[in-house]
Amino acid sequence: MRAIVFDGVGSPLREARVPVPRPGPGEVLVRVETCGVCRTDLHLLDGEVPIASPPRILGHQIVGVALGGALEGERVGIPWLGWTCGECEYCRSGRENLCPRARFTGRDIDGGMAEYAVADERFCFPIPAGYPGVQAAPLMCAGVIGHRALRMCGDAHRIGLYGFGAAAHILVQVARWQGREVYAFTRPGDTAAQAFALELGAVWAGSSTQAPPELLHAAILLAPDGGTVPAALAALAPGGVAVCGGIHMSEIPPLAYELLWEERTLRSVANLTREDAREHLDIAPRVPVQTHVTEYPLERAGQALEDLRAGRFTGAAVLVVQTDR
Ligand SMILES: [Zn+2]
Ligand SMILES: [Zn+2]
């Protein structure tokens, strides 16, 4: 099969022909239709999130058709969380996202930048009817992680989104559907992303260095820039929460205590649980979430990632691997 292979930090992604993987017990072979590109892939590429044993096939927003097993013929999504131990204190308390033995798709397990992938059947999710593969792929990480971050905001009415990429463009639709107000913060000068946010229903859009017109009840930080943390805390009303949604962030500058005072909270969201995936895939068609996607053929995975790094598209990028369209 064709695959995009990561050899190590500093090496460009390489297109290769590799054997089709064989499913073991409890696993399923999936014919990959599409695979979303995520900022985490950039962190893997750059070594900010290490890959223990390359070569590795990246990609953790996989949509494809299950071949064999209990899911035979179903269109399924495969997310970042690929396996958990089921035995540790985290697994046993509904927090499998924190399992110290967890294995992640596209980091510890070969991912979806290939014509076929193998996944543990218990970590595959039926894709809601009506979502073509291209539109469904961003739900699997941008959507699900965003969903988890939004839950950490409780019943916050005014929510700031720092970094208006793939996750934010889904989050704004869900938050609005829930009756909340969204304030979108972009890189300074990114008027395309600001216009996009307003089009999707944000009540305000501006630069991450600006103060919003009203104090926020919560903020979700999706940009990998630690400098947004003090800005987001400064935009919070007393009792507000700032949730860091990315797997990696540059260093957070020193914080004046007054930014945290009055019961403001600063926290992160790590990975996902299977419950998060089920909840998000249940809500998405009811909103209904419409993803805005820039498509790339599989062999242009490296270009898709560089375009993500440079902010050359709005919404999400998806690799089209094999489709019947
Ligand atoms: Zn991701
Ligand atoms: Zn565990």
CATH 3.40.50.720 maps onto the chain at 153-268
DSSP string, 4-16: EEE-STTSPPEEE
Q: How far is the CA of 130 from the centre of ligand 1 (A)?
A: 23
pLDDT at 29: 98
pLDDT at 323: 72
Q: What is the CATH number of domain 2-142+271-320?
A: 3.90.180.10
pLDDT at 295: 98
User: Which ligand is closest in space to the CA of residue 96?
Assistant: 2
The CATH number for 153-268, chosen from 3.40.1390.20, 3.30.499.10, 3.90.79.10, 3.40.50.720, is 3.40.50.720
CATH 3.90.180.10 maps onto the chain at 2-142+271-320
User: Which ligand is closest in space to the CA of residue 308?
Assistant: 1
The 3-state secondary structure of 172-199, one letter per residue: HHHHHHCCCEEEEEECCCCHHHHHHHHH
Q: Which residue type, as a one-letter code, is found at position 110?
A: D
pLDDT at 320: 98
User: Which ligand is closest in space to the CA of residue 97?
Assistant: 2
Dihedral of CA 231/233/237/240: which sign? positive
**What is d(CA 166, CA 120) in angstroms, rounded to the nearest whole number?**
26
Bridge partners of 34?
63, 320
Instruction: Compute mean pLDDT per 10 residues along the chain, 325 residues long, and list them.
Output: 97 96 97 98 97 97 95 97 98 98 98 98 96 96 98 98 97 98 96 97 97 98 96 98 97 97 98 98 97 98 97 96 74
Q: Where are the alpha helices (DSSP H) in the chain?
A: 39-46, 133-136, 142-151, 166-177, 191-199, 228-234, 274-283, 301-310
pLDDT at 324: 61
pLDDT at 77: 98
Identify which of 176, 182, 219 has the alpha carbon closest to the alpha carbon of residue 204.
182
User: Which ligand is closest in space to the CA of residue 165?
Assistant: 1
Q: How far is the CA of 97 from the centre of ligand 2 (A)?
A: 8
Q: How far is the CA of 61 from the centre of ligand 1 (A)?
A: 7
Q: How far is the CA of 98 from the centre of ligand 2 (A)?
A: 7
Beta strand pairing status for 158-162 and 181-186? Answer: parallel
Q: Long-range CB contacts (< 8 A, 24+ apart) of 206-212?
A: 208/162, 208/163, 210/185, 211/235, 212/158, 212/160, 212/183, 212/185
